[in-house]
Amino acid sequence: MRPLLQKTPSRCTSPLTKGTKLTMNFEKEIKEQGYRRYRGAVDRSVYEYFNCDWSWKAIWYLKKGHYQCCGCKEKCETSDPDGFQLFLDLGE
């Protein structure tokens, strides 16, 4: 069963992934779009906000203040920095 066309209510919907197949290439895709790996700590509250059970798989990417998770199947994303601990050194 692959209900790709089924619309499910979720806060994890991403305009970035609309029309995009769920493929292993998602990580590559967002890298090509300029996302960079976010290696800071992510607070539990972030996953609670997303109601995401996949925090153990989460791999976060960051682009201009926009956080995109490509580890879980929901591909959570947010522009809210709450819960993301930014590095003090942002020189890049």
Q: Does 76 bind Zn ion (CB under 5 A)?
A: yes
Strand-pair category, 60-63 with 36-37: antiparallel
**Cα distance between residue 5 and residue 8, in whole Å:** 9
**Binding residue for Zn ion, selected from 62, 68, 74, 78, defined by CB under 5 A:** 74
Residue closer to Zn ion by CB (options 82, 92) is 82
Q: Does 52 bind Zn ion (CB under 5 A)?
A: yes
Question: Which residues of this chain interact with Zn ion, rule CB under 5 A?
Answer: 52, 54, 69, 72, 74, 76
